[in-house]
Structure 1
Amino acid sequence: MRKVSELVKFLKDPHTKKVQHYKERYQELDELSDVAVDIGDAEAYKSLQTEMREVFFDYLTAVVVDSIYKLVPHVLIILVISLRWPTITIPFVSWQVSIIGAYIVMYILFHLGKSLVKRIKSRLDKFGEVGFIRGSEVTKIQ
């Protein structure tokens, strides 16, 4: 069971560790670069800046690859849906819209709605309304 959860975690976000490693390495090199400036060592500063550029480009590469991995499922979903329904008709106005445009609009609306619900829920949590109490707070009350 543990191996299955590790596989699912890897497939969900395969480059997280690599991106985090490059980010931490870049921050470390930046701090060392600041120290080199403070002590006035120009050669160390130049060497650190060169290494920082290399780490930064490796970081960018990992981020781009990670973004592609996150984009591929959406492309496959659009492909499968468009094979069956290349266009959809919007009711009431009888407009025909490409499934690609409809998918993108629905994706954006989904995430906007999700963030709106999160904001509303956090504001209602402040008032302590019934049904909006966090699970950890319920165990404290009992």
Structure 2
Amino acid sequence: MSIRQPVTVKFILTEQTKQQILAEQRRQIEQLTAELDQVELQGKQALEQAMAQGGPAAQEVRQQVEQARNQRLEQREQVIQQIQQIQQLELGTELQNMTVETMVDVNVGDDWSKVLMGAEIIIKDGIVHEIRRGGQPV
């Protein structure tokens, strides 16, 4: 019988990987900053229109703009914290990247605890470096 089983995908932090991650995070900060600028601009315009209509509409628009602004600021702060964490990590550190699924054959007589141990795929600079089952190389 075959069953589905999650497989953890990790990558080994190398200088190349570290620089790729940091570059992507810097792009995210630039994107969030651009979105923040756009929220500010559109919010200002929407607020002017709402104020022309009267009281409650303006307050509602102000709250929506503030909420969108705070959301972008919080996301940007999280990315900045991630950058700081990545910069502090030592090269060679294994970082979990994602989880994928695989099919595993289970037969009568198999040790169930070994089936449950799961598998890991270790990536180094974009290439599968190692496959492990239960923490042991396959």
Q: Which TM-score tier does this pair reach, normalised by the shorter chain?
A: 0.3 to 0.5
TM normalised by structure 1 equals: 0.40
Greater per-residue strand proportion: 2
Greater per-residue helix proportion: 1
TM normalised by structure 2 equals: 0.41
